Amino acid sequence: MDGESAIIPVTEAAATPRAPMHVRYLRLIRTNANFRRLWLAQLVSEIGDWFYSLAIYDLLLETTHSGKAVSYAIIIQTLPWFFMTPLAGHLVDRFSRRLLMILADIARGFVVLGLLRARSISDVGLVYALLGLEVIFSSFFEPARNAILPNLVAAEETLPANALSSATWSFALASGAALGGIVTALLGRQVAFVVNSISFFASALLIQDIKIVEPQLESPTVAPAPASANRVPGAGDELRVNSLGEGQQYLRQNPQVLVLILAKTGLGLLSGALLLLAIFGERVFPVAGHGALAMGLLYSARGVGAGIGPLLGDRFTKGREARMWKVISAGFFVIGVSYVALSRAPNIVLAALCVLCAHAGGSNVWVMSTTLLQLNVPDRFRGRVFAVDIGLLMLMVSASNYVIGVGLDTWKFTARQLAAALGCTLMVPGLLWLPAQARWGRPNQKSETRN
């Protein structure tokens, strides 16, 4: 598939009937070997990630007794993404995305093994250093994965592919968090670290077998701006692609792309939940005296919700871009209401239900904004666009977790109070999204249904 080609829209009447949702997902995995390998790589590495994250958070809470220590870990896991954005985007658009993913996986596998030395409070500095090093390599992997996916699937398969990837992330979170909590409580953190390292090496082997011609390696002089029917026309129909400045020029001339990037920036506010759920598990709803078990349950609920959400969103949108814009605004409101409800939950079962609903909404914001970007950004700008997309998201993730950590340890707010504040705050992006939805999310006969 030529990722640089404009999407060829068809009219409503010409569209072929959509197969049932589960049939499309199974067919995509069964018939598309390249996507299947990328999907399996994601599955094994992300299960390992959640083994590892819960073990780290449990270690920091046990040795430091400070929510701020966990917030620092989350900031270190996220903030470097923002600073790596220019370099990562440039490399992803100039070199083999497949090779960058393989090298990043191998490097992360070795870095994680260094955590085997972390056993006490004196090793907290080592934990932070290795977390930062790992995320530097991750900052190359994720933009490359998002940029290469449209080259592996047909245009009409882009939303199902993203929904399936989100559901896989959710399954990995649900299973990895649950198993990670059990393994950490029964076998120790060292086992969790080894599992994560092995998962990175397995991911590299799977990606190595992907066979693809990467259009961005042909390095043409110019690349066309996207041919979306809702794109604001301007002087950016031909842009040179030989420097980072052209990526900035592209965003200035295509404001709807920048707005779609900001959807994930708003979603980054929700990432304060990473710390909040750890605190709810450790201090509010401990199970059998083990914070790791309660954390595992809440993170699993987060994963289940994030898996269900995009599947329902795919069913509702039916591939129509206007509906994707609407789902993004609705997603923000679902998140806000659910976290306000979490602040009042009387037990861990209802708390898990609130978390499930919140992250069903959040995953729809993620999947719909990602799909709209993949459908409307030319291949040779895709790496830089997704690097900015993830970089700004991670900047907001860092800020959100820092504020939650300070709120807990310095301002002495309770976890319930912060959950209510987080829920109210997340309704703000939903309100701000409505004018953008009115401008760029209008139904259009030529672009609403894709063959």
Six token digits for residue 211: 């066979």
pLDDT for 18 equals 62
With cut-offs at 50, 70 and 90, classify the pLDDT of residue 178: confident
Please write the tens of the pLDDT for every residue from 46-58.
888 877 787 888 8
pLDDT for 289 equals 64
pLDDT for 290 equals 65
Six token digits for residue 183: 């393994």
Kindly tell me if the per-residue pLDDT of 396 is higher than 90.
yes
Please write the tens of the pLDDT for every residue from 255-265.
999 999 999 99
- Of 355, 372, 128, 164, nearest to 262 by C-alpha is 372
Q: Enumerate the domain spans of the chain.
A: 9-214+244-450
Q: How many alpha carbons fall within 13 Å on the CB side of residue 375?
A: 32
Higher pLDDT, 451 or 115: 115
User: 9-214+244-450 has which CATH code?
Assistant: 1.20.1250.20
Range with the poorest average pLDDT among 8-22, 60-74, 118-132, 214-228: 8-22
Mean pLDDT of 222-232: 44
Six token digits for residue 102: 């393989």
How far apart are alpha carbons 51 and 173 in whole angstroms? 9
Kindly tell me if the per-residue pLDDT of 192 is higher than 60.
yes
Instruction: Give the chain's length.
Output: 451
Kindly tell me if the per-residue pLDDT of 244 is higher than 70.
no
Kindly tell me if the per-residue pLDDT of 235 is higher than 50.
no
Higher pLDDT, 448 or 248: 248
pLDDT for 88 equals 93
Please write the tens of the pLDDT for every residue from 317-340.
988 999 999 999 999 999 999 999
pLDDT for 443 equals 81
pLDDT for 313 equals 94
Task: Tell me the C-alpha to C-alpha distance, in Å, between residue 27 and each of 16, 73, 167.
Answer: 16, 40, 16
pLDDT for 7 equals 33
How far apart are alpha carbons 112 and 126 in whole angstroms? 11
Mean pLDDT of 177-196: 82
Task: Tell me the C-alpha to C-alpha distance, in Å, between residue 11 and each of 8, 24, 248, 314, 447.
Answer: 10, 21, 33, 19, 7
Please write the tens of the pLDDT for every residue from 283-302.
888 765 667 778 888 988 99
With cut-offs at 50, 70 and 90, classify the pLDDT of residue 237: very low
- The whole-chain average pLDDT of the chain stands at 84
What is the reported pTM? 0.80
